[in-house]
Structure 1
Amino acid sequence: MATHHIGNFKHLTLSDRAEIEIMIEKGFSFSQMARALSKDSSTISKEIRRHRFLVPHYRDENSRRRSECAHFSSCTRQHLCGRTSCLSLCSKCRSKRCSFYCPDFSPLICPRLLKPPYVCNSCPKLRTCSHDFYFYRAKYAEDSYQEVKSSSRSGINQSPESLEKLDKLISPLLKQGQPLSHIYLTHREEINCSQRTLYNYIDLRCFSAVNLDLPRKVSYKPRKKRRSEPEIPGYRMGRTYLDFEQYIAAHPDCSIVEMDVVEGAGGKSSPVLLTLFFRSCSFMLLFLMDSDCRASVRDVFDFLYASLGPARYSRLFSVILTDNGSSFKDPSVFERNNGHGSHTLIFYCDPMASWQKGRLEKNHEFIRYVLPKGKTFSGLTQAQATLIANHINSTARASLNGCTPFELALLLLDRKLLELCHMAWIPADQVTLKPTLLK
């Protein structure tokens, strides 16, 4: 029995649009695309028809053949050229091109464009077709979407009269020292917009009152805009959590490494810790990075690949599972060939599903014992990060039948990795998981 597909109610991203473009080329149906992207098939249909663009077959309208007119077979027009004595139909005239004169000329639309996928991306007759072309391109669709989103949210959604009425109501009260929240609550029936919008109007100088008339506004620091790195189109293609589960079911003995970043008080732009967690033995590596960016992550994996060698790297990091952080969205950073035709595979958790790598998230608690939330990592060194990792890995776990991750790592991981990362066992009674460890 067919089941109704429920979308995830989120806007399409550039990555989603890149996957749509790839799937059009491969001849996927809208239903298949919808299932792959967790969307409704009508969403896919609207996306393609809304953001397809025209590529004319002819350089201008006057260059078109008369047979390219949609009305060619039924046209009865005469005397378009001004010769009233001519008895011939203009569409049959040999000396004059009716498409040059006719105001009703309408380009003939290819019948393939009237049904899915509504574009010419995968058409086998593309090279010999004489119709106009319509294409879907992810970058063009994303740019069009961003432009519409931006233009729809810009400007002032008020008439001059209603804006003047608001000004006369709000500005005198603000200048009396009343908080905007108080004004909004006591005059809610007279104000036809939200409180947040009123702040925006004041910021845009739409009122005679200005930011200086707001008691606390001028004391706020401007928000820092987070710079996100450009997304690699289609980076999740074949690398979703469902793909991960299917791969693990077929290769149960492969080495799985969960990866994440732990931030300090300064956020992504200040030093952070890259965490690598080996599922087989709950062993964790910590790497101090200058910031949470793609270049810093690449530096770590360049170091591991160069130091371990292709074969050992591929064996230890055969599968990596991580989230959708911007610093992890370039699969080429991790998927490196071992020289024998196979390579490391990276998979991405579903958005907002950190529980899919829950063992690593749980292990982060040990880091917070030593580096509590709200503490900056600016003064931290790699030696200190390694020291924290050694104490965490020397902590016995009930889930490991009383063993420590370090003891199991000696049995299950390559000792070259432990030596490279300066991993060392800490005697049980000397294990310290307090901020005093770094003093």
Structure 2
Amino acid sequence: MSKHLTLSDRAIIEKYLAQDMPFSYIAKRLHRSPSAISREVKNHRCFVNGYRYSDNPCINYRSCIRRNLCDQESIYSCHHRCKNCTEFNCNELCSQFVSFNCEALSKPPYVCTGCPDEKKCKRNHAYYTAHRAHAEYSKQLHDARAGIRTSPERLMELNDLLMPLVNKGQSINHIFASHGKEIGLSEKTIYNYIDQHAFHIRNIDLPKKVRYRQRQNRPHEVLMKMDYKCRQGRTYTDFTSYMEQNPKLSIVEMDTVIGARGSGNVLMTMLFRNTNFMLIFLLPDKSQASVNAVFDKLTLLLGLDLFRKLFPVILTDNGTEFKGVHNLEFTENGARRTRIFYCDPQASWQKGRIEKNHVLIRQILPKGTKFSTLSDESVHLITEHINSVTRELFENQTPFDLMSQKDEYKKLLDTLGLQPIPINEVCLKPALLKRK
């Protein structure tokens, strides 16, 4: 049961007050304490003035003609009535003063509903109305939750903590993974403070805080048909069928990232779905031979058995660089090392993990960047920083953390010489390569 009274609860209170029921009876019907009902009525009742003609709270104000209540001797006698006096408060001097405020309203039920003298009483009246009470409480609740309730000194401390990390391209979720206890607030609160300009950070500084365009659900018939020989037996439908028969096999997604036109070099990426760990390789061009060279190099470094364990199933798109399927699936000696499957045309969402990870690459290498200046050392550094980012999907563990849980993955990291970056030193900005 919610601790907040609903509009229906308040309607029941209004109904039983009209029937002159005690708070204990109402509380039992709503499964609340009598004190909770008492506070609700007292805090949200509305007052209606009786026959008031001025700000003077005396009920006899209109008919009062009394003079000289103050008994002040003066050369000139006072010709004004005491109720109009601006020097003394006649209510404090007059023995016939009767307040508009009824004493009965200071006792339960705190309202005039059910009072036998309600219609002829000239004093202020108090009533409880469900809709008015609910609207007033909702406004109080909204005001209590709105605004910034952190001191300016504390905001400056948080700004000094967050600003350098955000400038490195770290997300708020990544920062909370290492500084959550130090911050002492929720991620939602930090985002709200950024929206309210409490820090020097702006939404444009947060790479993940964007609005995605709503996807269009295109019918399957509209998609372009591709009948390449390499796709025979390797379509996405074949992929789902194969994984249903072999659910324990790990899946690797594969794709390429290109730079500015004419820059030559291309990045080939391979992502392990179960850990979100992404390998990045620098290719001299976007050709089948360059992709085959990466497969042959990995097979040579890892050994055929380990390669089969790490890359049993690979899902990729229909790029021309991946069409040499026989050379990818088999070694020069004819031994099978993996199985290649292709996504449907214009359906990049079928390998969404790697597409989303490409966003991290683009933070370091924005579109239009020439890859001709990249070296293997630069790509190695990019790989380490990207895989050191915490992932909310895996309870704020980094891909490096997940890879260290299995021996075959550890061997892969050792073979390629990949090491995690300390969480506070992770940088996802172009400045990463400039300071190298």
Q: TM-score, normalised by structure 1?
A: 0.46
Larger RCO (alpha carbons 8 Å, 6+ apart): 2
- Tell me which structure has the larger Cα radius of gyration: 2
